[in-house]
Amino acid sequence: MFHIVNRKEWKREAYFNHFSQLRCTFSMTANINITELLKQTRERKMKLYPALIYMGSKVVNQHSEFRMSYNDKGELGYWEVLHPSYSIFHKEEELFSNVWTNFSNIFVEFYNRFMQDSVDYGDHPRLQAKGNPPTNIHPISIIPWTSFTGFNLNINNEGNFLLPIITWGKYFKEAESVFIPLSVQVHHAVCDGYHSSLLINEIQALADRCMDWLDKE
The answer to whether residue 156 scores a pLDDT higher than 80 is no
The answer to whether residue 137 scores a pLDDT higher than 90 is yes
Alpha-carbon gap, residue 101 to 119, rounded angstroms: 12
In a domain, 166, yes or no: yes
Q: What type of residue sits at position 5?
A: V
pLDDT-based confidence at residue 45 (cuts at 50, 70, 90): very high
Query: Is 188 known to be catalytic?
Result: yes
Q: Mean pLDDT score of the chain, rounded to an integer? A: 94
In a domain, 37, yes or no: yes
The answer to whether residue 217 scores a pLDDT higher than 80 is no
pLDDT-based confidence at residue 216 (cuts at 50, 70, 90): confident
DSSP strand pairing (83-90 vs 137-142) = parallel
Percentages of the chain per state (helix, strand, coil), in multiples of 5: 30, 25, 40
Instruction: Please report, for the domain that includes residue 163, its CATH number.
Output: 3.30.559.10
Per-residue DSSP letter, 27: E
pLDDT-based confidence at residue 33 (cuts at 50, 70, 90): very high
Residue 120 or 77, more confident: 77
The answer to whether residue 210 scores a pLDDT higher than 80 is yes
CA distances from 33 to 88, 144, 173, 200 (A): 24, 16, 10, 11
Closest CA to 64 of 85, 79, 83: 79
Domain count, the chain: 1
Alpha-carbon gap, residue 50 to 100, rounded angstroms: 12
Alpha-carbon gap, residue 2 to 20, rounded angstroms: 21
Alpha-carbon gap, residue 72 to 120, rounded angstroms: 30
The answer to whether residue 7 scores a pLDDT higher than 80 is yes
The answer to whether residue 94 scores a pLDDT higher than 90 is no
The reported pTM is 0.95
Closest CA to 140 of 56, 206, 205, 80: 56
Residue 120 or 56, more confident: 56
Closest CA to 198 of 210, 213, 184: 184
In a domain, 85, yes or no: yes
CB 80, CB 66: distance < 8 Å: no
Closest CA to 116 of 128, 100, 105, 127: 100
Q: Average of pLDDT values for 147-169? A: 89
User: 205 is in which domain, residue-wise?
Assistant: 2-212
Q: What type of residue sits at position 60?
A: V
Q: Percentage of the chain with pLDDT > 70?
A: 99
Q: What is the pLDDT of residues 47-59, one digit of tens each?
A: 999 999 999 999 9
CB 5, CB 78: distance < 8 Å: yes
pLDDT of residue 147: 96
In a domain, 217, yes or no: no
Active-site residue, selected from the candidate residues 83, 138, 187, 188: 188
Answer positive or negative: Cα dihedral of 149, 110, 217, 195.
positive
